[in-house]
Amino acid sequence: MSSIIEDVIARKIFNSRGEETIEIDIVTTAGFGRASAPAGASRGKAEVAPYPKEGVNTAIKKVEEFIGPELVGLDAEEQEEIDFLLHEIDGTKDFGNLGGNTAFAVSLATAEAAATSYGMPLFQHLSGYLTNELPYPLGNVLGGGKHALGKTLDIQEYLTIPLQAPSFSDAAKANVLVHQKVGVYLKKSNKTFTGGRGDEGAWAPNMKSENALRIVVKACEEVSREQGVGCRAGLDVAASTLWSQKEKCYVYTRDGIKRDSGEQLEFVLRLVEDYNLAYVEDPFHEEDYESFAELTRKVKKSLICGDDLFVTNRERLIRGIKVRAANSIIIKGNQVGTLTDAWETTRVAKKAQYIPVVSHRSGETSDAHIAHLAIAFSCPVIKTGVLQGERVAKINELTRIEETLGNRAKMSIL
C-alpha cells in the first residue's frame, strides 16, 4: 500500500516570535507529510499542555523513542486510529506527557502524508472531491494586548472581514487595503507613530480603544465603497487578559478604566451597535458563560465567538451550547492535540448551529495546513492575519486552492 508509514522524523524549528517549536515529517511508501505547531501568547487555561514540562527537546526525544516506533508500519489513511494511539501513548487528559503541539504536528503530518500518497490535496483527502467552498478571511489590522510590546491598545485585535466579496482573492485583497488605509490614518492622527506592529503584523499604536475602532471602521467603509466587498469590523477583546480576579473587574490600563461584568457587557453591546461589528471574540473572561449567553441573546447580526471560553474542547463547547453562550467557536487544533479531536469539536459546533472559525495563533510558522482545514471542515471563516510571511502563507494557499477549483469555487454561506 502506498500510504504505509515508513519513517517519522522530528526536528526543532522557530516560529514567528523566534520561539522553539516542533516540526514533524511523516514518510510513507509513496507520500510525504510535514507539519509544525504554532504557539499562542494568550492561552486559555483549559488548553492541553503545549509540550512536556522539559520543553521541545524532550518532545522530540519522545517522538523518536515512543511515537515513531508505534507509527511505522501503520497506514497513514487510518487517521482516527493514529490519533487514538497518540492519546494512548500519552496517557494523560491534557497531553502533559507528549505535549499537544507534538501530537497535533504528528496528526497533521500524517494526514498530509496520506493525501500525497494518492496525489490529492489535503482538503480533498479529508472531505472529498465535491468540497468547493472557500472561507472568508478574518484579518487582524490593528491591535495590542499580549500581541504587542510597550504602551499599546488594551483590546488585543481589531479585525476586518469582507462579507460580500465575490471570490477569496477579492476578499484577501480587501483586507490588505483595509490594513494599508489604517496605517495611513494612524500616521495622520499621530505624528509620533513610527509604524510599529505586533506579533501578527497588525499596527500597534498607543491610543485609546474606541479611537482605534473608529479608524478601523472608517477604513472598512472606504474599502467597501471602493471595492464593493462589504467589509465590516470586528474585535478580539481577549478579555481573560484584562480580567482581575482580585478586583473582579476588567482593567483597561491604557484607557484608564475599570469595568465590572455588567459594565463590560454594556460596553461591548454599545460597540457592536454603534459600529455595526460583524464579530466579537472573547468579550468576557474564560469562565463567564453567563455573560457570553446574555450578550448572544441581545446581539442578532454578529458572531459572538469563544476562543479561551471553549479552547476547541468538546466538553466545554457542550457546556456553552446548553446555555447558548456565544454562537461561534475558534478552532485551533493544537488546543486539543489531534486532527480528530478538532474535527469532533467542529462537528458538535455545526450541529448546534455555531459557526466554526479555523484560526492561526500569534506565534505562527509558515505551515499553511489550516487553509486546507478551513475548507475540509466547512468553516465559513478563517482567521489568519493579513500581512507577514507566516500569515500570507495561509492566504496564498487558499488563493492557489481557489485557482485549482476553478469554476467550482464559491465563497461559503455565512
Rounded distance, CA 313 to CA 329, Å?
10
β 355-359/328-331 pair status:
parallel
Residue 28 has φ and ψ, to the nearest 5°, of: -110, 180
d(CA 237, CA 243): 11
Rg (CA), the chain: 21
Write out the catalytic residue numbers: 200, 332
Q: How far apart are the first and last CA of the chain?
A: 40
Q: Angle at which helices 389-405 and 168-189 pack, to 10 degrees?
A: 150
- Degrees (nearest 5) of the Cα angle 160, 194, 386? 25
Helix, coil or strand: residue 315: helix
Backbone angles phi, psi at 10, to 5 degrees: -120, 140
Distance CA 270, CA 133 (A): 33
